[in-house]
Amino acid sequence: MDSTTAIIAGSGFRDCFAGAAEGAAETRWGRASARPRRTIVGDAPFWVLRRHGEDHDIPAHAVNYRANVALLKDLGARRVIALNTVGAITDICAPGGIAVPAQLIDYTWGRAQTFFDGGASGLSHLDFTAPFAPGLRGALLDAACRGGVACIDGGVYAVTQGPRLETAAEIDRLERDGADYVGMTAMPEAALAAELGIEYACLALVVNAAAGRGAGSIHAQVEAAADRAEQAALTVLAALGEGVCDGSFAASQ
């Protein structure tokens, strides 16, 4: 079974993407979060890698993003769909919805950001004008349309360090910077994929209003909205997989 499309599954999805783990998690960049799995989504094969580990015990700042991306590259993945849970800063998308962001701002620190550290690894200055691959973004939006799922096209994803959530003042700052969503995992994942020539796009699950933007506790909002966002994302992925089988997905690339 050949698969050139991979899914990096974030928070949630613990009971999704059934399939046998194959191969090792070790790479030249260290150990990946988990062994990759082969799974069928919408009748098409995909690789799935669980970003936070099989037991969901790896926080965002401790993920070995280089190992994860390198492992998928070695498996032959040419496209990566990242599933990221985010909070809504603006009113662009209500909790329980999904979005395909177009831009990001990186506020992380201390993470291994590149495969090109100099020396034997060489040096490369990545053109990162468009952090999310336009063709793959379009394929996700088309799949949402075919699946009858409302999906927001665009917006700016602010990537924070974690693992704590943000203060209300920090969210105010992110909004002034132009951000619409806040999460912890799109960077350096997106840049690393681009360095290896992998198309990368984010399917963001909006599970709460960001700090100071909603009523009640953030954790209560997540509990109320996460299942709806997860089901919407799974419907989009199923429609995408059906597009692989009928040729419409390949034609969009």
pLDDT in tens, 48-86: 999 999 888 999 999 999 999 999 999 999 999 999 999
Q: Are strands 151-153 and 37-41 parallel, antiparallel or unpaired?
A: unpaired
Q: What is the pTM of this model?
A: 0.91
pLDDT at 249 exceeding the cut of 60: no
Separation CA 40–CA 133 (nearest Å): 23
Question: Distance from first CA to last CA of the chain, Å, rounded?
Answer: 21
Strand pairing report for 181-183 and 79-88: antiparallel
pLDDT tens, 95-110?
A: 999 999 999 999 999 9
**108/245: higher pLDDT:** 108
Residue 222 pLDDT greater than 80, yes or no: yes
Alpha-carbon gap, residue 251 to 160, rounded angstroms: 35
Share of the chain above pLDDT 70, in %: 93
Residue 237 and residue 143: Cα distance in Å, rounded? 7
What is the reported pLDDT for 19? 72
The mean per-residue pLDDT over the stretch 155-179 comes to 97
* Ranges 6-20, 78-92, 181-195, 207-221: which has the least confidence: 6-20
